A = this chain, B = another copy of it.
Amino acid sequence: MGREATSREDMCPHRLVLEHVTSRWGVLVLIQLLERSYRFSELRRAIGRVSEKMLTQTLQTLERDGLVHRDARPVIPPRVDYSLTDLGREAAEQVRSLARWTERRLEDVQEARRAYDEARTP
């Protein structure tokens, strides 16, 4: 994520958007914001082990792509709320659906892995 420089710039543009929404932290942010809007630190706690840097980068990328809306209020201490745009909600719903599929099918995958591993460690 973040500002891709030179090497991945030449990818077909829509693949870049796909990488943003399916990125490690992008997925978690989108799914979380599907529930309601969150403040920065609140979102950080909700997601778990994400560094400030990565959360910032992820939110900036998603905001730039028009998927996340950033509402910064000029108060002290600063208060910034993040929410999904309509576009972001469309993406988030598909991502969540894919994430749920991996949960539902996890057993099948794990069974396949056992078979695979066993077949080549006699």
Chain A residues with a Cβ under 8 A of chain B: 13-15, 17-19, 21-22, 24, 27, 63-67, 87, 90-91, 94-95, 97-99, 101-103, 105-106, 108-113, 115-117
Contacts and interface: CB of A to CB of B under 8 A. Distances in A.
Copies of the protein in its oligomer? 2
A109 B97 contact: no
A103 to B, nearest CB: 5
A102 B21 contact: yes
Nearest to A28: B15
A13 B110 contact: yes
Nearest to A99: B18
B106 A66 contact: no
A116 B63 contact: yes
